[in-house]
Amino acid sequence: MSQSSSSETHEVSIDKRDWVNPEYVREAREVPIERLLTELGYDLKREGSGRWRLSNDTSIVLRDNMWYDWAPQNGGRRGGSGIDFLMHYHKPGMTLQEAVREIHRLCMFPIDMELPSSRSISENPTIEQASVPTVSIDAAPVIDASDTEITLIPPARADNARNVIAYLNKTRGIDYEIIRVMLKNGSIYQTTINGNCCFLGFDEIGVARNAHLRGTQSNPQKRFVQDYMGSSKEYCFAMHGNPEGIVYVFESPIDALSHASLAKEAKRDWQQDTRLSLNGTSAASLLRYLLNHPTTSEIIFCLDNDETGRYATESIMDILARDWSHIRVNIELPKGKDFNDDLLELRAIPQRLGHSVASGLSV
């Protein structure tokens, strides 16, 4: 592949090792950089509001979700996003694909980096290549995915949902009536390939814009979670209720379904309020929901009862305090790590590997 020194445009000769879904790149860039470096094992010293410094290399400063290297030998102006940190500081020579995969593995969930079909490539001639330059603090690197967006084509639907029903009801403890309603309205279905559970998120006119896949095998060693190629984080799975009522916010569709099941168990109307999944910790789907439902009266954050969940809750609440201050905001923590743990405990179903009940945790 040839590339002139004066242009950032790439030819459409795509190597499987280089191709990266622009949506994955965007998601990786949104991960708070201080959280990424903590997951990588770096010790950070806080220096005022929104500013950190590496303990073992004081020339590295973090602020505004960017890193800056002030070392004279590096020109004193090197920096960039978390992706650039991995590629140019943490492990020089790491490819864009490797960096994006590592950020998803550490901070979100594993992703599939398979090359899309030839049809997708031919219709998207400006797909990102693994070339992200190091930039100065005056020019933060931004990948514009507007020209590289891949339209979501949800995976094929199986003619039955036996695996999905068994997984959600028997393994996850989700109420059967709730499963039936979600299957009937098309928000959940079983895929033809591998019998995965697909959670769909729809836009304002009812078009599927996000397909969140989860494996239905009960073996935790074979856990599979993925946002399908072309999915938009702005339209994640939702259980819609009164548009002027309460919106409960979760990290995953499973937690939203679990919370609804717990409400039903407590004899409350589980269809009264809206439950929205972030499919991780990005605020994108909540902000999109608020734009479409400006009369929302209250938001209750129900993210995981761990450091990541609490940090994400605080970060999103800061955004709401600035731009949506008229909406009441509250927090409802699960007793365990998440609301599915709480549901499994209620149902006396053995908890999943790696999920232990937390105690004495507060926001």
Return per-residue pLDDT of the chain as tens, 363 residues: 334 333 333 333 333 444 567 777 877 887 888 888 888 888 888 887 678 888 888 888 888 788 888 765 555 456 788 888 998 889 988 888 888 888 887 776 554 444 333 333 333 333 333 333 333 333 333 333 333 345 788 889 999 999 999 999 999 999 999 999 999 999 999 999 889 999 999 998 888 999 999 999 866 556 788 888 888 999 999 999 998 889 999 999 999 999 999 999 999 999 999 999 999 998 999 999 999 998 999 999 999 999 889 999 999 999 898 888 899 999 999 999 999 999 999 988 776 544 433 322 222
For the chain, how far is it from start to end, CA to CA, in angstroms?
51
Residues 31, 137 within the same domain: yes
Q: Kind of pairing, strands 328-331 and 274-277?
A: unpaired
Residues 83, 198 within the same domain: no
Gap between the Cα atoms of 184 and 214, Å rounded = 19
Instruction: Among 147, 182, 211, identify where a domain stops.
Output: 147
**Can you list the positions of beta strands (E) in the chain?**
44-46, 51-54, 60-63, 66-69, 78-80, 188-190, 197-202, 208-214, 225-227, 238-239, 246-250, 274-277, 298-301, 328-331
What CATH code is carried by the domain that includes residue 114?
3.90.580.10
Q: Could you tell me the pTM of the whole model?
A: 0.59
Residues 167, 143 within the same domain: no
Instruction: Among 147, 178, 203, identify where a domain stops.
Output: 147
Range of the domain at 142: 22-147
Residues 227, 191 within the same domain: yes
Q: 3-class DSSP state for residue 79?
A: strand
What CATH code is carried by the domain that includes residue 233?
3.40.1360.10
Give how many domains the chain has, as a whole number: 2
Instruction: Among 113, 147, 181, identify where a domain stops.
Output: 147
Bridge partners (DSSP) listed for residue 200: 211
| DSSP line for 96-161 | HHHHHHHHHHHHS-----PPPPHHHHHH-TT---S----B-TTS-----GGGT-----PPPBPS--
